[in-house]
């Protein structure tokens, strides 16, 4: 080979650049770094920033890669990916990321869905905690909606069974991050105390295991096994509603662990009082430690999560697209992630850049469309979310800058999108008169004529209304 392998790889990149859009090149190929070339095995090793990039390259660009590699390096060339860890942000990409081992395909850390098969008390090293290492605290972005549960979770991980937060009962809507948080507690706990017997189990799996134990006449072993756990994490316990026998069995486990000072962590989609079919003796126990609620993420948390995801997965989304997704697809973090994945898929399939047009198209398909006419309450809610202020702030007499803007914009949008007269709008926005509404609308109109950044802000809020039109 006459030319240095690094230069040959640069040739490959030039060829690729000619064959994909600029956006695709920047997103998927620019982050690839030449690592090494093994002359004997004719193997090129490249570093990639995440497993996600690997999956996309393998799924959509493998043919292109193979053609350019053959063209530049000749036939019989093998390509290996090395998935690196983002040290700057303390984020690990996959299990092998921290070991500098060249891998054909990064090994996925599969979450074994099965519970321990033997019901004997295995040693801590033998017990698979059934935790997903990726769902850790480093990846659990903090925001207003989860600050308290996250802080409590960290403290439990550091002192399991020794805080007043026992049991820790966490509840919140679907996709708000319950599983991630309770899993992160287990992961952190295991890092600090490798000897502790930590176990994550879904309520459904616990029930299945219990049913099996009944069938095989091993209920005592079953209970004994669970009574040997130091940190027991049970997810989705609302699924036990009316499963009387399972609940009774869990009662024995719970009581024993609690008395022995072991940590219990429970997650559900509703607070203990709303758990149907659970007897009082368990309900009072569920409620005697700490109950914390996870709320729907606010816009700022969505932005932070999206930015982190893009950074981690080596994606480049324009800021206005991030803002738009955060404002429109924010009913849960799962929805946010779904939109990002769809957006990537669309951009690849249609060979188009990720911009507002594509984002609007994808969001319309991915997010449930609400056909109700836009109401003034919808408007105030979106404006408040955008400026991170509360409805009482908007209604108040305060002249604080962001309150005034949120107030004036609420009136402006109400006039533009609802059929209400100015006097009614004024009444609903803190009991103002119609001349204040007209003045506010004029102020916004005037500012939009001279302030480009402000026009962008207004457009971004209007985008968040789109799903309601």
Ligand X SMILES: Nc1ncnc2c1ncn2[C@@H]1O[C@H](COP(=O)(O)OP(=O)(O)OP(=O)(O)O)[C@@H](O)[C@H]1O
- Annotation: binding site for ATP: 175, 177-179
Please state the closest distance from residue 357 (CB atom) to ligand X, in A.
Answer: 26
Please state the closest distance from residue 107 (CB atom) to ligand X, in A.
Answer: 20
Q: Interface with ligand X includes 202 (CB under 6 A)?
A: no
Q: Interface with ligand X includes 91 (CB under 6 A)?
A: no
> Which residue from 27, 136, 176, 460 is in contact with ligand X, where contact means CB under 6 A?
176
- The contacts of residue 450 (CB under 8 Å, 6+ apart) are none
Q: Interface with ligand X includes 133 (CB under 6 A)?
A: no
C-beta of 129 vs 172, nearer to ligand X: 172
N- to C-terminal Cα separation, the chain:
62
Tokens standing for residue 16: 């690729």
C-beta of 5 vs 177, nearer to ligand X: 177
> Which residue from 269, 293, 353, 381 is in contact with ligand X, where contact means CB under 6 A?
269
Q: Interface with ligand X includes 333 (CB under 6 A)?
A: yes
Q: Interface with ligand X includes 149 (CB under 6 A)?
A: no
Please state the closest distance from residue 189 (CB atom) to ligand X, in A.
Answer: 17
For the CA atoms of the chain, what is the radius of gyration? Answer: 27
Contact (Cβ atoms closer than 8 angstroms) between residue 202 and residue 236: yes
> Which residue from 158, 221, 337, 462 is in contact with ligand X, where contact means CB under 6 A?
337
Q: Interface with ligand X includes 106 (CB under 6 A)?
A: no
Select the residue whose beta carbon is closest to ligand X and give its number.
177
Among 52-60, 66-74, 136-144, 311-319, the segment contacting ligand X (CB under 6 A) = 136-144
Q: Interface with ligand X includes 340 (CB under 6 A)?
A: no
Phi, psi of 81 (to 5 degrees): -105, 140
C-beta of 184 vs 422, nearer to ligand X: 184
Q: Interface with ligand X includes 115 (CB under 6 A)?
A: no
Among 95-103, 168-176, 219-227, 385-393, the segment contacting ligand X (CB under 6 A) = 168-176
> Which residue from 5, 149, 177, 289 is in contact with ligand X, where contact means CB under 6 A?
177
From residue 39 to residue 78, the character string flagging contacts with ligand X as x (rule: CB under 6 A) and all else as - is ----------------------------------------
C-beta of 269 vs 293, nearer to ligand X: 269
Please state the closest distance from residue 270 (CB atom) to ligand X, in A.
Answer: 10
- Give the residue ranges of DSSP H helices in 367-451: 376-387, 391-395, 401-417, 422-428, 434-450
Tokens standing for residue 214: 């009944």
Helices (H) and strands (E) in the chain, counts: 20, 8
C-beta of 141 vs 354, nearer to ligand X: 141
> Which residue from 180, 262, 382, 407 is in contact with ligand X, where contact means CB under 6 A?
180
Q: Interface with ligand X includes 190 (CB under 6 A)?
A: no
Site for ligand X in 272-331 (CB under 6 A): 305
Q: Interface with ligand X includes 262 (CB under 6 A)?
A: no
Report the binding-site residues.
Answer: 175, 177-179
Helix, strand, coil % (nearest 5) of the chain?
A: 55, 10, 35
Q: What residue ranges in 25-115 does DSSP mark as E strands?
A: 33-38, 43-48, 78-83
Phi, psi of 347 (to 5 degrees): -65, -35
Please state the closest distance from residue 207 (CB atom) to ligand X, in A.
Answer: 16
The full DSSP string for 316-334 is ---HHHHHHHHHHS-S-HH
Neighbours of 89 (CB within 10 A): 12
CA nearest neighbour of 415 among 392, 394, 397, 439: 439
Interior angle at CA 209, CA 285 and CA 265, nearest 5: 30
Task: Measure the CA dihedral 231/237/241/247, to 10°.
Answer: -10
What span, in angstroms and rounded, lies between the C-alpha atoms of 224 and 283?
Answer: 22
- The contacts of residue 227 (CB under 8 Å, 6+ apart) are 252, 253, 256, 257
Q: What is the binding site for ligand X (CB under 6 A)?
A: 135, 139-141, 146, 172, 174-180, 269, 305, 333-334, 337
């Amino acid at each position: 080979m006459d030319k240095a392998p690094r230069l040959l790889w640069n040739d490959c990149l030039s060829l690729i650049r000619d064959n994909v859009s600029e956006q695709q090149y920047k997103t998927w190929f620019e982050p690839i770094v030449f690592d090494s070339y093994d002359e004997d095995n004719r193997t090129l090793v490249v570093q990639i920033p995440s497993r996600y990039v690997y999956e996309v390259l393998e799924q959509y660009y493998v043919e292109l890669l193979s053609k350019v590699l053959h063209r530049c390096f000749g036939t019989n060339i093998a390509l290996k990916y090395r998935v690196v860890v983002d040290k700057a942000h303390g984020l690990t990409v996959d299990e092998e990321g921290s070991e500098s081992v060249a891998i054909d395909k990064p090994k996925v850390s599969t979450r074994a869905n099965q519970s321990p098969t033997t019901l004997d008390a295995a040693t801590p090293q033998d017990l698979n905690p059934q935790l997903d290492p990726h769902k850790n605290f480093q990846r659990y972005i903090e925001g207003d909606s989860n600050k308290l549960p996250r802080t409590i979770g960290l403290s439990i991980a550091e002192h399991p069974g020794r805080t007043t937060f026992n049991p820790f009962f966490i509840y919140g809507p679907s996709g708000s991050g319950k599983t991630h948080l309770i899993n992160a507690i287990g992961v952190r706990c295991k890092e600090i105390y490798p000897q502790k017997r930590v176990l994550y189990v879904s309520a459904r799996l616990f029930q299945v295991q219990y049913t099996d134990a009944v069938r095989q006449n091993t209920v005592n072993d079953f209970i004994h096994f669970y009574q040997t756990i130091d940190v027991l994490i049970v997810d989705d316990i609302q699924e036990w509603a009316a499963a009387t026998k399972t609940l009774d069995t869990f009662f024995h486990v719970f009581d024993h662990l609690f008395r022995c000072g072991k940590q219990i962590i429970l997650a559900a989609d509703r607070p203990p009082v709303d758990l149907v079919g659970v007897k009082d003796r368990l309900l009072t126990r569920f409620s005697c430690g700490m109950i914390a609620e996870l709320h729907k993420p606010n816009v700022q948390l969505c932005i932070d999560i999206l930015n982190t995801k893009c950074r981690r997965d080596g994606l480049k989304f324009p800021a206005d697209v991030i803002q738009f997704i955060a404002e429109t697809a924010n009913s849960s973090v799962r929805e946010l992630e779904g939109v990002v994945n769809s957006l990537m898929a669309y951009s690849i399939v249609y060979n188009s850049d990720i911009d507002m047009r594509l984002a609007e198209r994808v969001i319309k398909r991915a997010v449930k469309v609400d056909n109700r006419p836009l109401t003034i309450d919808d408007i105030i809610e979106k404006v408040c979310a955008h400026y991170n202020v509360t409805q009482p702030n908007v209604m108040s007499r305060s002249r604080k800058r962001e309150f005034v803007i949120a107030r004036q914009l609420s009136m402006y949008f109400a006039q533009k999108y609802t059929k209400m007269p100015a006097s009614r709008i004024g009444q609903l926005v803190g009991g103002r008169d119609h001349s204040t509404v007209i003045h506010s609308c004029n102020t916004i109109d005037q500012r939009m004529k001279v302030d480009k950044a402000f026009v962008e802000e207004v457009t971004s809020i209007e985008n968040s209304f789109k799903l309601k039109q």
